[in-house]
Amino acid sequence: MLFSCVLDLARRKIVGWALGNRPTADLACKALRMAIEKEKPAEGLIHHSDRGSQYTSHKYKDLLKEHNILGSMSRKGNPYDNAPMESFFRLLKVEHVKKRSFATQGQAAASIEAWISYYNTRRRHSALGGISPLCYEIRRNSPFNLSA
């Protein structure tokens, strides 16, 4: 089972995801469509990915173009460019997936969806000053935010 997701880097929030059996353009597009539908990004958003074939496909690039999203890719042979996403996948595996077994893909999807909800609403992130993505978002959007 494979997982594709979209991370909002500023908020460290997972905004789109999909499960599948192979790393296909369809799987990546499904995760991106979820993110676009939920977040309704402004034109000119920069979307970063690694150089996997699913992200270099015409299908994926066309979806980005359709929504006026600018694609950005890691430099060849440089895994550090995509470090925040790799860090998320490590957390997902260590904190959740490796502690469980799933009988069906549906069962896995429901369990991972619940963990993503936890990740987005309650899990603290050092990159956000020790608060959750939800708390960060609330503070950022507060009319009393003096740092904005």
Q: Are 13 and 133 in contact (CB under 8 A)?
A: yes
What does the alpha-carbon distance between residue 110 and residue 98 come to, in Å, rounded to a whole number? 15
The first and second tokens of residue 42, run together, are: 């402004």
Task: Report CA-CA distances (Å) from 111 to 6, 31, 103, 116, 117.
Answer: 18, 17, 11, 9, 10
Distance CA 36, CA 86 (A): 21
pLDDT by residue (tens digit) across 34-85? 999 999 999 999 999 988 899 999 999 999 999 999 999 888 877 777 889 9
CATH for 2-141 is 3.30.420.10
Q: Contact 106/116 with Cβ under 8 angstroms?
A: no
**115 φ, ψ to 5°?**
-65, -40
Model pLDDT for residues 82-122, shown as the tens digit of each residue: 889 989 999 999 999 898 999 998 999 999 999 999 999 99
Long-range pairs for 35-41 at CB < 8 Å and ≥24 separation? 35/6, 36/67, 36/69, 39/8, 39/15, 41/67, 41/69
Confidence of residue 142 (pLDDT cuts 50, 70, 90): confident
Say what the pTM is.
0.88
Strands 70-73 and 13-20, how do they pair?
Answer: unpaired
Q: Where are the domains of the chain?
A: 2-141
Q: How many CB atoms are located within 10 Å of the residue 131 CB?
A: 16
Q: Give the whole-angstrom CA distance, residue 105 versus residue 14.
A: 20
